[in-house]
A and B are shown apart, each in its own frame.
Chain A
Amino acid sequence: MSNLLEINNATLKFGGVVAVNDLTFSVEEGEVYAIVGPNGAGKSTVFNLISRFYNPYAGSITFDGHNLLDRNADSVADLGIARTFQNIELFDHATVLQNLLVGRHRHRTTNLVQEMLFTPKVRQEEKRHREAVEEVIDFLDLQPYRDKMIAGLPYGVRKVVELGRALASGPRLLLLDEPASGLSVEETQDMRWWIDDIRKQMGITVLMVEHDMGLVSGVSDRVLALADGAKLAEGTPQQVQSDPAVIEAYLGAGAA
């Protein structure tokens, strides 16, 4: 196993606030890596660093040998990095199908003129994209919602659609920002199986931020605990959960 994603000494400051402090960790190809930590620990900020929405103050981020810091936010997807958002960022005034098809955008090979004339090549490509999207729809059981507008869908389904949109892009690394937040126990269970299958059947590496410790210990190989932007502990879910520093960060000193 080799390291797919490497973050070395990454630091990010907002004014005087140090959001990520000299953070170093790496994600191996084929594993599920979870980041946990109290609110404001910098978990989502780490995601936004990888997505290149933020520029690190110092440090390096490499993905499969490519320096991510050389790239703009919109060319991160080209490397095969897809993500979901904590508060669901779907395209509300489009159908589920159209949302998933946007996930295929990085595979676009046709240009504006061809698309305006809808040449046979565009038609062929559309069918290819559609096939890929249908596989995702089958995998996530989204068939009943295929032609529904996002604006009318319940929260749980939107969460799944967002996962689907990320999967449709055919990623190598999937960033899941709180995949189970706001989901019912049953839906969380589904999410857990999906994450398992994504890793085992599709061979996609998963990096996720999650608060639900049941889900984290169920699916992840390694866990990183963050507090105030710095690494608190790293290891198997059991190791991290029993680490005194982690317990202190969550429950306060003396609780252990």
Chain B
Amino acid sequence: MRIHFKTSYEHDIRLFPDWWSFFVYATLIVIAVALPWLMDDFFLGEVTNVLIWAIAGLGLMLLTGQTGQASLGHAAFLALGCYSCIIFMEQGWPFLIAFPAAGILTGVVGTIIAIPAIRLHGIYLAIATIALSILADDIIVLMEPITDGVSGKFAPMITIFGIEIERWTTPDRFYWLVLAVTILCTLAYRNLLRSPLGRAMAAVRDSEVSATAMGVHIARTKAAAFGISCAITGLAGALMGFYAGAFNNETFSIVISITLLMMIVIGGLGSIHGAFFGAVVVAFLPQFLSMTKDLIGGGSVAIPGLETGVFGMILILFILFEPMGIYGRWMKIRIWFELFPFARKDMFKRQKSYLKTERLR
């Protein structure tokens, strides 16, 4: 078991608590950067997919895990990010400007939508945001002159300082681009967590009444959470567009919204790791299922709804047996090894919470 001896406040502010964890994450990044030389193009494409889902997961995690606001409308923001980035590029904007601009636009639109939406709490907010997902589909069809409606759009070639990046012809370059965006988003998320706004978000999640009494502006904090969440989701949406190559009004359906929410619950609500773990499950499950099907000799048999069914099953099992998600399980296994052989069976049992102040509204 490692014990941190802290000698200054700086220790608690650092991104990595000690050299060991710095080493672990540095190794992880080195391996991630070297991946194109270690894997064939098919698996590299799959890993790229995982990373894109992880970025989208980070976006929703900030809103749902950190600020406690469920959203089933994030497919709409994926769509907005995707369409705006590609439309900007069609206007002749270079990728390096169009991509952040798409993120910012999605963030601003998210904030504007949030202003009425944050008056709703819990399940009602989720229901209201479902409307967004459904509306997005129709709006894309209605705005046909800009969006090309049902026939959809094709992602153009990305060019950064003369280097051409495309998902099929240069999968390694596209992977590095996605990796860079992932690292930047993770860093921004991590920075938020260790600064006042991130704590204010957690405060809003756990007790709005006392957050207010501490001087936290509830509506502003929620709107900021929506804005940042949607901006990150918009970036993921743009990358999804480039990854898919072609997309139309049905690409970002409500199913994507639901998958995204299930993903962060399975990964572990409220943790950065959770977004990544969840993304691995979401991205690899279809592959895993088809491989298993091949293995048991049912390769050619189509089973409608198999994926959704298995996914739902996994979600139910997690909610029943591991509400903290894969990350929670991961932490428990780690602590078990760190304490070995002193871990006790009921160590992680939580006692029931105490009475809460009657809600003031």
B-binding residues in A (CB < 8 A): 48, 51, 53-54, 72-78, 82-83, 85-94, 97-98, 101-106, 108, 110, 112, 115-118, 122-123, 125-127, 129-131, 134, 151-152, 155, 158, 165, 169
Contacts and interface: CB of A to CB of B under 8 A. Distances in A.
B40 to A, nearest CB: 36
Given A74-B215, A101-B199, A102-B200, A115 B192 contact: yes
B195 interface: yes
Contact of A93 (B12, B197, B202, B214): B202
B354 A87 contact: yes
B188 A105 contact: no
Contact of B200 (A48, A105, A155): A105
Given A74-B212, A94-B206, A116 B192 contact: yes
Contact of A82 (B213, B224, B270): B213
B261 to A, nearest CB: 19
Contacts of B357: 85-87, 89
Contact of A74 (B192, B194, B217): B217
Pick the 5 closest A-B CB pairs, nearest first: A77-B215, A89-B210, A106-B215, A115-B195, A91-B206
Given A102-B216, A104-B196, A130-B9, A89 B207 contact: yes
A125 to B, nearest CB: 8
Interface string B328-361: 0000000000000000000000110111110010
Contacts of A122: 191, 195
Nearest to A44: B357
A155 B354 CA distance: 8
A91 B208 CA distance: 9
B224 A77 contact: no
A236 to B, nearest CB: 30
8 contacts: A74-B216, A87-B355, A92-B353, A101-B199, A102-B199, A102-B214, A105-B214, A105-B215
DSSP class of B's interface residues: helix, strand, loop or mixed? helix
Nearest to B68: A93
Nearest to A150: B206
Contact of A108 (B9, B196, B212): B196
B203 A127 contact: no
Given A104-B196, A105-B215, A88 B360 contact: no
A77 B192 contact: no
B209 interface: yes
B228 interface: yes
Nearest to A88: B354
A54 B357 CA distance: 15
A94 B200 CA distance: 11
A126 B356 CA distance: 30
Contacts of A74: 212, 215-218
Interface in B215-252: 215-218, 224, 228
A73 B12 CA distance: 31
Given A91-B206, A152-B350, A83 B195 contact: no
A75 B213 CA distance: 8
Nearest to A54: B360
Contacts of A127: 9-10, 13
Contacts, number: 134
B211 interface: yes
A92 to B, nearest CB: 5
B31 to A, nearest CB: 25
Nearest to B4: A147
Interface of B: 9-10, 12-13, 188, 191-192, 194-200, 202-203, 205-207, 209-218, 224, 228, 270, 350-351, 353-357, 360
Nearest to A92: B206
A72 to B, nearest CB: 8
B205 A93 contact: yes
A64 B114 CA distance: 36
B353 A105 contact: no
A103 B216 CA distance: 9
A87 B272 CA distance: 31
Nearest to A78: B215
Contacts of A54: 360
Contacts of B200: 102, 105
Nearest to A130: B9
B15 to A, nearest CB: 9
B196 to A, nearest CB: 4
B194 A77 contact: no
A118 B195 contact: yes
A169 B9 contact: no
B124 to A, nearest CB: 21
Nearest to A129: B196
Interface centre among B191, B195, B270, B353 (most CB of A within 10 A): B195
Given A77-B215, A90-B206, A130-B12, A118 B194 contact: yes
A155 B206 CA distance: 17
B232 to A, nearest CB: 11
Contacts of B216: 74, 102, 105
Nearest to A109: B196
B195 A91 contact: no
A106 B214 contact: yes
A169 B213 CA distance: 11
A53 B208 CA distance: 11
A109 to B, nearest CB: 9
A90 B194 contact: no
A116 B202 contact: no
Contacts of A130: 9, 12-13
